[in-house]
Structure 1
Amino acid sequence: MFQKRKGYVLALVLVVVALGVLVAGCGQNQPQPAETEKAQPTVYPPVITHSLEGRVGQCLVCHEEGSGVDAPKTSHPERANCQQCHVAQGAEQQ
C-alpha cells in the first residue's frame, strides 16, 4: 500500500514540476516587434485617430498595405467595413 501511495505522490510531483517549467517558459521566445513598427495600441479595437471627413469607406486605400507610421497595415484586410468595430476618437470626427 505504501509503495502505491509513493507512486502517486511521485507522479503528482512530476506533473507539478512539468507545469512549472511550462509556465516559466511561456513568452520566452515571443518575436519582438521591429524597431520601425509602431507600438501596438492598448485599446481594442483601436480607435480611429484621424478625421473621417471625405474618407468614409476608404480605409483600405492607406491601411491595406500600410503607408508608414501614420497608417499602420491592417491585420485583417478582408474585413472592409472598418467602422463596424473601430470608432472615431472624439465627437468631432464622426
Structure 2
Amino acid sequence: MDKKNALRAGALAAGTTLMMLLMSSPASALTRDDGDDPGQGLSVIETLGLFVAAPIVLYLVIHGLVMVGDKSHKKKDPTSSNIRTKADAKADAKA
C-alpha cells in the first residue's frame, strides 16, 4: 500500500513540474527592458574576492570575536568547570 502511495505522489509531482515547465514563458534575458542599465561585468578576480574571499574573511572576523568573548566569559562563569570538587577540597583540608 505504501509503494502505491509513493508512486502516486511521485507521478503527481513529476506531472506538476512538467506542466509548470511547459506552461511557463521563456525567460527574456536577451531582450532589454526600458531603463535597463546592467553595467559592466565582474572580472574573475573580483568575482572570487566578492563571493569567496569576503565571506571567508567575514567568518574569521566573527569567529575571532566569539573566541575573544568566550575566553573573557570563562573566567567569570561559575559553572561546574570552575567549581572545586569534593576530592580537591579534601586534599586541601589534609594539607
Regarding TM over 0.5, the answer is no
Normalising by structure 1, report the TM-score: 0.33
Q: Greater CA radius of gyration, 1 or 2?
A: 2
Q: Judging by fraction of residues, say which structure has more helix.
A: 2
The TM-score, its normalising length taken from structure 2, stands at 0.33
Structure with larger RCO (C-alpha < 8 A, sep 6+): 1
